[in-house]
Structure 1
Amino acid sequence: MTNPQPSNAVPTRPERAVIIGAGFGGLSLGVRLQSLGFDTLILERLDQAGGRGYQKRTPSGYVFDMGPTVITAPHFIEELFALERGQPNLADPDFPPAVRQAARVKAGESGGPRTRDYVKLVPILPFYRIVFDDGTFFDYDGDPANTRRQIAALAPQDLEGYERFHADAQAIFERGFLELGYTHFGDVASMLRVLPDLLRLDAVRTLFSFTSKYFQSDKMRQVFSFETLLVGGNPLSVPAIYAMIHFVEKTWGIHYAMGGTGALVRGLVKKFEELGGQIRYGAGVEEILVTDDWGKPVTGPLGRRIARGVRLESGETIPADLVISNGDWANTYLRRVDKKARLWNSDLRVKAARQSMSLLVIYFGFKDDGQPLNLRHHNILLGPRYEALLREIFGQKVLSQDFSQYLHVPTLTDPTLAPAGHHAAYTLIPVPHNGSGLDWSVEGPKLVERVYDYLEQRQIIPNLRERLTHSEFVTPDYFEGTLDSYLGNAFGPEPVLVQSAFFRPHNRSEDIQNLYLVGAGAQPGAGTPSVMMSAKMTARLIAEDFGV
């Protein structure tokens, strides 16, 4: 890629950047670009920021985070809120300060002094309650002593295996996250440099296979592999480098933004606007405008392609010096970039990529009957099958009769999300994406009823139907339509080995100069911390290309 100006040039005016989408990736990158001196406009098709992190309020007083609820690595958030105009801080070491913060975070202090000006973060313990189909459960809190006590009670034969898993997962975390976390794999050489280490750490085999080396018990294999489902990955097929999630959580804990994830979104919007950035809502982007060196539309495969701005669904044209998409990777290219301007990201290549699974999510409110719930803030409710269910969701793309779910009950921590005397909750069920051909207008309501039956009959929430005061749900159709996600995927390209690192979509477009990607579809991948890492990667590429 040819830089728009020499690397040592001093811009005579702020470069105009347009970001498509005000999700976590777009907001995080917007803050960084403003700190670098760019003039940044974020265009959002919905009526508020958040993207997958959209927050819904009901007339009856319930507040539902519609997407991400698990916050890890709070120092990523702290770094964003500490940025100032003209002080990008990109040269600072990434992780040593964060490591030094670990003790403070574990002591219950979340976020630095600037973070507290925008949002209140609190640690959550345990991180998850993992409930098995036989009614037993495992409270994972990152405490080695408590972890060993629970393994001794549920699967004593796996105590020695846990020690080996702990050591090997730590080695993967130190190399794959602490050292390579912000590495953008933009060429084959960058991948080849780290491949020997990944092979030595056995980090390229599948995560479930890796976990099975250490644990004999099905329960422990599930406890130490389920987390990739929260970023769209099938434990049976994601590479074992994802074992580092165990140590990311163990090192910095799990956190919650008081007021819900939407409060964190509002904090980022406030920070972005304080730095001079602008957001326009109800501004869907129809096309990314691409020209050649002479400003003419690209009409053939030859010549350099340059992003010049965007055209909105309203027909308005907005010129820009650079364009960044925080939207779905596949639809960014398939729907918003003329195919004549795409060689690397051709229709054939984009459509051939494996997309992550989708979700059915039920948002419900219910009366507090005065009896304490035998639940925690984050709950993983595992069904009778694990491997077979995963194969049906990801491989066969069928809707099974059994299911597993993530049940989120934030009012156990933050009662303000529901009317007095009530709880707000959502439960998330992994399902196939819309490549399955399932009719969700038919299958959605039936699955909702089966989930309510399960929660009530298993006494997860006793007498739930009698206590319900609010109920609604979304299906893969919501992801495909409202969130403009290809095939209704919930997390972007599936994080299998052949779609990771260099093989995952690049944050700098291979086809078009001054076009960049950020968010779940780009490197390093899905999940709130990864999306914030993606924003820093993309900011560095832009700073390099524009000589900032």
Structure 2
Amino acid sequence: MTRKSAIVIGSGIGGISCAMRLQSLGFDTQIVEKLDAPGGRAYVRRVDGFTFDMGPTVLTVPHFIEELFSLERDHAMLGEPDFPAHVLDENSRIREGNSGGPNTSKYLDVMPILPFYRIYFDDGTFFDYDGDPVSTREQIKRLAPEDLEGYEAFHEQARAIFKRGFLELGYTYFGSLGSMLGVVPDLLKLGAVQPLFSLISKYFKSDKMRQVFSFEPLLVGGNPLKVPAIYAMIHFVEKTWGIHYAKGGTGALVAAMVKKYEEMGGKLHLNAEVGQIDVEKRAGKRVATGVTLRDGRTMTADIVVSNADYATTYLKMVDKKYRTINRDALVKFRKQSMSLMVIYFGYEKRDNDPELRHHNIILGPRYEALLTEIFDTKVMSKDFSQYLHIPTLTDPSMAPDGHHAAYTLIPVPNNQSDIDWSVEGDRLCDRVMTFLEERNYIPDLKARLKHKSFVTPDYFEQVLGSHVGNGFGVEPVLTQTAFFRPHNKSEDISNLYLVGQGTQPGGGTPSVMMSAKMTVREIARDLAIDASIVNGVPQAA
């Protein structure tokens, strides 16, 4: 039987995950990547002896990673349980040592991080969130004892949402309106469609606790004031499986995935930017036949999968004459997530430095008003919140001896704002670094700096190809969730599929790995491939 071929556009974590699964399904797969190294948003910057992950740094659900490293060429695993019994055991979370599974550990070291986050409030107090029930309740008692009873009620509702929304429906592909309508009654009963912040506010009286238990959607591009309450499941995802770190950074995970993919026979082409997705009309259908690169080269394949930004895929890679559903008006109408300014810096260690953590959330003096300015009015705010990441507290190899490598991420409006980042980038960078120094998070920081650089929404738009410089694809509001989110299977063109944060189920490292499995399952169904086989090249049904 002639092997089928596939082209995957983009080598982000979702794209590589999809390519690995296509290899396991019996395809000859090629990834085309516009940058000079793989990773997409998970690109790595190495400068002055420092290693900086430029994008995602929070790893959850390690069994998703283990499943990828357990793949073998032509040995499809799409029929395996999405959540095997052993990962659902309440004692399955690994709290110390190596948290990578046996196959993952052949390629890289993964370790748990505790606490998950240290969350600083503007008054200098903090909450160490580690998912431990005793510790969590002790800290609530210390900071907001009036919310202990509310936490118990929230905990039970979040558990129910997690069970239904993640464990039972997480891998459901909502390709039709009917598929979604069938689950709406359950979600309504669970209270999972109301805004998350509204749900949180019912249970917590303290502003601090409302922030602690609602900030997490920001890590996937969601506004806590507007994302549906189904995102309360993030609390249980983290609590169930923990937060993890790949030694060498997320870039080490990307490199390991590429190595595994190439061992399976897949090919990766760097500096290979796609100019267009090629489409032909066959028997009255529009069919994707391959891609044409910017340098004029053409590549043909039986299927094409885009891990590029959803809007960029349709607006810039597919001729509008082939788009009946995903027309310019619809694509541009979809609300895009906020963007980011990320400052990368290396600095000298001091023995008497304040005790920061691997992951630090530093909240500003305003919460709801700041979120409204970032997501809705899209203005440069007078204050900011930030996520400060210091991996060298766990992994000194990321910096020269005696130094820390760090980045701090500040949510900002996307490029639908009127902000001139060529001017405001330097200003905001200076404000943030001054804040870290003067508020004593990193004393004398400017004098200790050995490297400083930053990216703004312009980087996301111009380098990563994100429409209007979005940081996380389509914003996860209720009207852009499940069936209403861009589909993993193109409605316009046969044999064209999408994968990654802009598609179902959404943004974040575990979700893009899930999207890869969902997309490949749709490919297997469309091509009548029996994905339940264990040995040999999958055969047509």
Which TM bucket (shorter chain)?
Answer: over 0.9
Give unpaired runs (5+ residues) of structure 2: 530-541
* 1:270 is the counterpart of 2:251: no
Partner of 2:356, secondary structure, is coil
Task: Please name the residue that 2:100 is paired with.
Answer: 111
**How many Å apart are 1:171 and its aligned residue?**
0.1
Show the 5 A alignment for 1:387-406: 387-406=368-387
* 1:284 is the counterpart of 2:273: yes
TM-score (norm 1): 0.95
Q: Could you tell me how far apart the structure 1 residues matched to 2:497 and 2:354 are?
A: 46
Q: Tell me: CA distance 1:128–1:265, structure 2 relative to 1, closer, same or farther (3 Å).
A: same
- Residues 211-260 of structure 1 show CA distances to partners (whole Å, capped at 9, x for unaligned) of 00100000000000000000000000000000000000000000000000
**How many Å apart are 1:14 and its aligned residue?**
1.2
Q: Could you tell me how far apart the structure 1 residues matched to 2:411 and 2:201 are?
A: 23
Q: Which amino acid aligns with 2:102?
A: P
Task: Please name the residue that 2:440 is paired with.
Answer: 459
Q: Which amino acid aligns with 1:93?
A: P
* 1:315 is the counterpart of 2:303: no
Task: Please name the residue that 2:429 is paired with.
Answer: 448
- 8 Å contact 1:398–1:436 — kept in the other structure? yes
Q: Could you tell me how far apart the structure 1 residues matched to 2:463 and 2:237 are?
A: 31
Task: Please name the residue that 2:536 is paired with.
Answer: none
Show the 5 A alignment for 1:60-79: 60-79=48-67
Task: Please name the residue that 2:39 is paired with.
Answer: 50
- Residues 59-91 of structure 1 show CA distances to partners (whole Å, capped at 9, x for unaligned) of x21000000000000100000000111211111
Q: Tell me: CA distance 1:98–1:44, structure 2 relative to 1, closer, same or farther (3 Å).
A: farther
- 8 Å contact 1:357–1:394 — kept in the other structure? yes
Task: Please name the residue that 2:75 is paired with.
Answer: 87
Task: Please name the residue that 2:535 is paired with.
Answer: none
Which consecutive segments of 4 or more residues in structure 1 shift more than 6 A? none
- Residues 289-335 of structure 1 show CA distances to partners (whole Å, capped at 9, x for unaligned) of 111116xxxxxxxx411101100000111111100000000010000
- Residues 242-286 of structure 1 show CA distances to partners (whole Å, capped at 9, x for unaligned) of 000000000000000000000000000001000000000000000
Taking only the aligned residue pairs, the percentage that are identical comes to 65
Partner of 2:401, secondary structure, is coil
Q: Could you tell me how far apart the structure 2 residues matched to 1:100 and 1:195 are?
A: 25
Q: Tell me: CA distance 1:98–1:389, structure 2 relative to 1, closer, same or farther (3 Å).
A: farther
**How many Å apart are 1:164 and its aligned residue?**
0.1
Show the 5 A alignment for 1:209-224: 209-224=198-213
Q: Could you tell me how far apart the structure 1 residues matched to 2:99 and 2:520 are?
A: 25
Task: Please name the residue that 2:359 is paired with.
Answer: 378
Partner of 2:454, secondary structure, is strand
- Residues 369-407 of structure 1 show CA distances to partners (whole Å, capped at 9, x for unaligned) of 222432100000000000000000000000101000000
Q: Could you tell me how far apart the structure 1 residues matched to 2:508 and 2:229 are?
A: 17
Q: Which amino acid aligns with 2:156?
A: A
TM-score (norm 2): 0.97
Q: Could you tell me how far apart the structure 1 residues matched to 2:470 and 2:440 are?
A: 32
Partner of 1:184, secondary structure, is coil
Partner of 1:335, secondary structure, is helix
> Which one of the candidate residues 184, 192, 207 is aligned to 2:181?
192
- 8 Å contact 1:102–1:252 — kept in the other structure? no
RMSD between aligned alpha carbons? 0.9
Show the 5 A alignment for 1:378-527: 378-527=359-508
Task: Please name the residue that 1:202 is paired with.
Answer: 191
> Which one of the candidate residues 4, 17, 21 is aligned to 1:28?
17
**How many Å apart are 1:98 and its aligned residue?**
5.2
Q: Could you tell me how far apart the structure 1 residues matched to 2:256 and 2:76 are?
A: 19
**How many Å apart are 1:104 and its aligned residue?**
4.3
- 8 Å contact 2:275–2:294 — kept in the other structure? yes
**How many Å apart are 1:546 and its aligned residue?**
1.3
Give unpaired runs (5+ residues) of structure 1: 1-11, 295-302
